[in-house]
Amino acid sequence: MARLFGTDGVRGVANKDITAELALDLSVAAAHVLGEVGAFNGHRPVAVVGRDPRASGEFLAAATVAGLASAGIDVRDAGVLPTPAIAYLVAEQDADLGAMLSASHNPMPDNGIKFFARGGHKLADDLEDRIEARLRDEWQRPTGGDVGRITPLVDGADRYVSHLLSVLPHRLEGLHVVVDAAHGAASEVAPRAFREAGAQVTVIGGEPDGLNINDGYGSTHLEHLKETVVAVGADLGIALDGDADRCLAVDATGHEVDGDQIMAILALAMKEQGVLRGDTLVATVMSNLGMIQALGGAGIKVLQTAVGDRYVLEGMKSGGFALGGEQSGHVVMLDHGTTGDGTLTGLMLASRVAATGRTLADLAGIMTHFPQVLVNVKDVDKSALEANTAVADAVRAAEGELGESGRVLLRKSGTEPVVRVMVEAADGDQARSLADRLVGVVRAELSL
């Protein structure tokens, strides 16, 4: 049976896969499991709950709040706020846990729920497994004054924006920034934060109606942002996703600045400021070789992890590093937050532009993207990938042809019978040719 929790909580179609009953049961189970492992330390526990503006989030948040309160947890309902804001508020409020109702960049019919432990950290896999195992268990229900109380956290947005502004190294006066909020959870707080930091702000994708989240706007749909930045003559544009835990950017000419470029810019800035611990950036194996080589030339090491922000976080925590992220725009700055924060990332990027007086295009030019070819080979026996000698020989041959000017990566999908073949090379034609060759070997050797 498939694990209910994925790499970022529980997700699915709202009111089909993610029901009110499931949200309530998960919340009760989370309360019991965290209580059993001593997370509440004998005191009356407190939770912070938030959501993105999806219509389904209204009833799912109500169910989550009800489940937690019925299990004896006092709930502070923060309403519509970004995922990183809820993580921050869990720590700032000294809460024992948090819950966020969101499906991030997924389309509107989807929704999801994820939990945060004390301090705003994501739950460990073993705790999620224990929560899943406890679903719908019989339990002793509190009564009378032992039931949880529910109060609105009316100043959550104020507290979050104040935090963002307090860590900004340079104000944004003189900059014109377009903010695309994806009609999502940051539609209010992101434009506000940029304005209070001193920028002139044009907002698109900032009118959520419960149905339009991620619909043609945000980090997965940059077309409107590119057009708007050029049309209004802005210095740069920032694109968030539905729950604002990721950020991509657009320079003044309308060209995309991806997560690798953003991380390179921030890594150089932090090294200059003396806050890039270990002179190391943590990134996934999907980050472009151009970024790795550019940062290496600047004396910055890149520690690569498996794909997924939780693996980036693990690498950061284990090595005590301050900056990490993904090509998709999840950027984590552990000195200022416990999870990817798109608004913070955008503010830091704009702050670097303002501090240096250089254009975003100029800053992003620190790295040159190597052509990257990615092919999903479907309907194959992915479990046989590592043991197949013909595939291993083909990979070694390709790596021999590339030398230091490229790389090869084969990895299994976590959910499908798919092997992903990725080849990077300084020459795009070579990358395509080698990828095609490897795809042929994978199909010949591993087809079901």
Question: Structure tokens of 128?
Answer: 């999620």
Catalytic residue annotation: 104
Beginning with the edge strand found earlier in the chain, give each strand of the sheet holding 418-425 in spatial order: 372-378, 418-425, 406-412
Closest CA to 78 of 18, 151, 147, 20: 151
Instruction: Give dist(CA 74, CA 18) in Å, integer.
Output: 24
Closest CA to 181 of 137, 146, 143, 214: 214
| Residue 103 burial (C-beta neighbours within 10 Å; 0-12, 13-18, 19+) | buried
* Pair type for strands 323-325 and 331-333: antiparallel
Question: Which distant-in-sequence residues (6+ apart) come within 8 Å of 313 by Cβ?
Answer: 122, 324, 332, 338, 339
| Residue 308 burial (C-beta neighbours within 10 Å; 0-12, 13-18, 19+) | middle
**Long-range CB pairs of 202-206, under 8 A, 24+ apart, other chains included:** 202/176, 202/177, 202/178, 202/228, 202/232, 202/234, 203/178, 203/179, 204/178, 204/179, 204/180, 204/228, 205/180, 205/181, 206/179, 206/181
Closest CA to 9 of 75, 133, 102: 102
Closest CA to 20 of 84, 63, 52: 63
Instruction: Give dist(CA 352, CA 177) in Å, integer.
Output: 13
Backbone angles phi, psi at 81, to 5 degrees: -150, 160
Beginning with the edge strand found earlier in the chain, give each strand of the sheet holding 280-284 in spatial order: 301-305, 280-284, 323-325, 331-333
* Rg for the chain, CA atoms, rounded: 23
